[in-house]
Amino acid sequence: MKIVAVTACPTGIAHTYMAQEAIEKECKKRGYEYQVETQGGMGIENELEQDVIDTADAVILAIAVEIEGEDRFDEKREANRVLNADPSEVIKDPAKFIDEAEKIVGN
């Protein structure tokens, strides 16, 4: 399974990167392909290209603020392949969100 995610919090520091790490660790543990874009204090890092988004099975938007380029996910949203979450919830229980991603994909 291939998961892409965007993480962003109001200050763009701690929770943005903690949520990124939580998603990456859980995906790695399960042997999933993943890429996580952060929109934080350092600007956009690891920016997701449209072709990467298009080939992903699921999208996790762990965001507590508006993000740049949210329209990139419209097609995935229409296909019910986007999970919205608060970064702090993803940090606390990343497995829950990867489980939810599996459910929307049908794995």
Which amino acid, 65? Answer: V
**β-bridge mates for residue 62, sequence order:** 7, 85
Question: Catalytic site residue 27?
Answer: no
> How far is it, in rounded angstroms, from Cα 7 to Cα 5?
7
3, 8, 9, 60: which one is catalytic?
Answer: 9
Catalytically annotated residues = 9
